[in-house]
Structure 1
Amino acid sequence: MVNSVIAGLTSGGGYALLGLCVVLTYRLVAVVNFAMTAVGAMGAFVMVSLTDDGMSLWLALPIGALSAALLSGLLGAALVRWFAGHRERTKAAVTVALFVALSAIGLRLFGSNSTGAHQFPNPFGDPVFTIGSVVVPQSVLVSLAFAVLITLAVGLLLTRTRIGLKLQALSERPSTAEVVGIPAPRLAVGVWAGVGAITMLVIVLVAPRLGGDFGALSGLISTALAVAMVGAFRSLPLTLVGGLILGCLEGLSSSVDSIQKYQGVVPFLVILVLLWWRSRREVWDTAHSR
């Protein structure tokens, strides 16, 4: 069971990062980006295709991240150009359509991995240390460190820097931001591009554990949304904690034979529980205010 929890922490760090990307996109450009993991999976498969052709991993990795950033930036530019004045739910619906389209294209280009056509490298699979009989691989420390670093760095960026204040103004009052001289479209596209690159790196990190199937990797958006809901799409620290908890729950469920095949349902259960809890809290708040 301890081995399962350690393995879950590897995924948990990745899930936290995906949740953070959802929160960032929502906080900074007011969009719930359902297409995020499909874009990241595209970049990841560009990378693995290059490594399959003999290119060095450390050269293919930045190329894959750049391709994801360019694709995500292009999608962001399209939303800024044609849907900037629309409601949040309309923009979210557009990203759902983009997710469906990108998933279909990705499966067409890269197929499923049932035949083992694409093998994701695992550069952080070597053990770091051993606790009793439990081996802790590098991937655990890398994913956790990356998640904590992004949480702290973004928190400081948004609260302590001038560009962070501009980004928050972009989300809260985009029309006013442009009036006072903030380059709203360029900043929005930059946010989209940065999120695309980070998502690609996270997917590369978790792909060896999840099997490297395009459909499974693009489907991580459900997990990312569950993690973001823990932080109410606002809190970076709570989102980080939510990702780690979800990873541990998934690891624990994989160690119990009777529920192992249902572990993919965990994100949906988290979403349902959070929706129920928040709806009940609203009812209680309304009752107490009377």
Structure 2
Amino acid sequence: MDILGSLVVGLSSGGLYAAFGVLLVLMATLTRVINFSQVAVGVFGAYLSLRFIPLDLPTWVIILIAMVTAAAISALLGWIIATWLGESSTTARSAVTVATLLGLISLSFLVFGTRPQANPPLLVGPLFTFGDIAVTKVGVLMLALAVGIAAVSRLLLTKTSLGVRLRAIADRQTAAELLGINVKGLQLFVWAQTGAMSALFISIVGNAQAGSANSMIVLLIPAAAAALVGAFTNVWLAVAGGLLVGALQGVLTGFPSITLLTDWVPLTVIVLFLLWNQRKEVWDVAR
């Protein structure tokens, strides 16, 4: 495969990274939580729904089960944090999601094992081709979802009264409660929605990747890299970050001798952006 073809393949994966990156940014913005369990919740819901396949249910019902399951798990986690860590720091609130991530990894290993499992086919094959390069339906859909969620969330937060309430809760939870805003209800709404979207993403790409549950949870790393490009505050930069990571990985696959370096791309992006964000402090100390 030539470099252009490898780049297109990488951008297809980048759409998935971008979609999860947008969810991570929204969680950080609206709940003051870096949700390390974001991908794991979606994976658990999607893979648990596979247990209903022998019932010959329609594919959309299987996906709906996955979304409802993930939404319930995510909402439960959000309720715990909102109830006992309402005014705690972002670090303390995020630590709870790390524990959830580890718990879901262990539980996924016990329940689903290590064998690759494919979700029911939702979108199969290329959307269009030019030459030897095929642009997949899944890749285009994931990119469209990432851009769509980013656009809708920006409009919601800046143009609606619901967005004002959500931003008020994120800034000052206690003050928002005193103003009569249903803080816990709105926070659970955000947690449930992002959990459901995570399960939808995994259900869409699960058939194409057909990985084990724990291997799919590793998608958290490139998703975090995408969110970090946006500094966990800018959804559009998160979309760009996801595409950047995917593109770099795709280009590297065009060089068989260094293909193994693709796994290092998200980590490299994370390190570089952490160093970039700390540059002012370093320069001040140097001066």
TM bucket, shorter chain = over 0.9
Structure 2 residue 189 is the aligned partner of structure 1 residue 190: yes
Counterpart of 2:7 in structure 1 is 5
Counterpart of 1:231 in structure 2 is 230
Aligned to 1:259, the other structure's residue is in SS state: helix
Aligned to 1:129, the other structure's residue is in SS state: strand
- Provide the alpha-carbon RMSD of the alignment: 1.7
Aligned pair in 2 of structure 1 residues 209, 4: CA closer, same or farther (>3 Å)? farther
Q: CA deviation at 1:261?
A: 2.0
TM-score by length of 2: 0.94
Aligned pair in 2 of structure 1 residues 50, 2: CA closer, same or farther (>3 Å)? farther
User: Quick check: 79-88 or 165-174, which moved more?
Assistant: 79-88
Counterpart of 1:221 in structure 2 is 220
Q: CA deviation at 1:128?
A: 2.0
Identify unmatched segments of 5+ residues in structure 2: none
Identify unmatched segments of 5+ residues in structure 1: none
Q: Does structure 2 conserve the Cα–Cα contact (< 8 Å) formed by 1:5 and 1:248?
A: yes
User: Quick check: 124-133 or 140-149, which moved more?
Assistant: 124-133
Q: Which amino acid aligns with 1:228?
A: A
Q: Does structure 2 conserve the Cα–Cα contact (< 8 Å) formed by 1:20 and 1:240?
A: yes
Counterpart of 1:136 in structure 2 is 135
Identity of aligned residues (%): 35
Q: CA deviation at 1:251?
A: 1.5
Counterpart of 2:241 in structure 1 is 242
1:23-56 CA distances to partner (integer Å, 9 max, x unpaired)?
1111001011111111110111023232255322
In 1, Cα distance between equivalents of 2:206 and 2:259: 19
Q: Does structure 2 conserve the Cα–Cα contact (< 8 Å) formed by 1:73 and 1:193?
A: yes
Counterpart of 1:147 in structure 2 is 146
Q: CA deviation at 1:219?
A: 1.8
Q: Which amino acid aligns with 2:50?
A: V
In 1, Cα distance between equivalents of 2:244 and 2:206: 19
Counterpart of 2:169 in structure 1 is 170
In 2, Cα distance between equivalents of 1:177 and 1:69: 24
Counterpart of 1:280 in structure 2 is 279
Aligned pair in 2 of structure 1 residues 53, 2: CA closer, same or farther (>3 Å)? farther
TM-score by length of 1: 0.93
Q: Which amino acid aligns with 2:42?
A: G
Q: Does structure 1 conserve the Cα–Cα contact (< 8 Å) formed by 2:41 and 2:70?
A: yes
Q: CA deviation at 1:287?
A: 7.2
Counterpart of 1:24 in structure 2 is 26
Of 38, 42, 51, the residue aligned with 1:49 is 51
In 1, Cα distance between equivalents of 2:104 and 2:124: 30
Q: CA deviation at 1:209?
A: 4.2
Counterpart of 1:58 in structure 2 is 60
Aligned to 1:136, the other structure's residue is in SS state: strand
Counterpart of 1:102 in structure 2 is 104
1:219-261 CA distances to partner (integer Å, 9 max, x unpaired)?
2222221111100110111111111111111212222212212
User: Quick check: 46-55 or 189-198, which moved more?
Assistant: 46-55
Aligned to 1:260, the other structure's residue is in SS state: helix
Q: Does structure 1 conserve the Cα–Cα contact (< 8 Å) formed by 2:118 and 2:206?
A: no
Of 84, 92, 99, the residue aligned with 2:86 is 84
The aligned length equals 285
1:44-86 CA distances to partner (integer Å, 9 max, x unpaired)?
1023232255322111111111110011001110111122232
Q: Does structure 2 conserve the Cα–Cα contact (< 8 Å) formed by 1:37 and 1:221?
A: yes
1:183-237 CA distances to partner (integer Å, 9 max, x unpaired)?
1111111111011011111122333444321111112222221111100110111
User: Quick check: 141-150 or 206-215, which moved more?
Assistant: 206-215
Q: Which amino acid aligns with 1:57?
A: T
